[in-house]
Amino acid sequence: MKLYIYDLTNMTDDTYDKILSQLTEETKNNILKNKMRITRLRHVAGELLKRVAVSSYLQREISYVDDIGSVIEENNIFYDFAFIKNFVICAVSDKQVGVAADKKSSDDYSLMENAFGKCKTKCKDCPLASECTYIESHALDEYRIVVCQSNAKVNMA
Residue 52 confidence (pLDDT): 83
In order of 41, 108, 133, the CA distances from 8 in angstroms are 7, 25, 31
Dihedral, 61, 66, 69, 75 alpha carbons, nearest 10: -40
DSSP string, 56-78: HHHTS--S----BTTEEGGGTEE
CA-based torsion, 12, 14, 16, 19: positive or negative: negative
Q: Which of 54-63, 75-84, 93-102, 147-156 has the lowest mean pLDDT?
A: 147-156
Does residue 108 have a pLDDT over 90? no
Return the higher-pLDDT residue of 34 and 54.
34
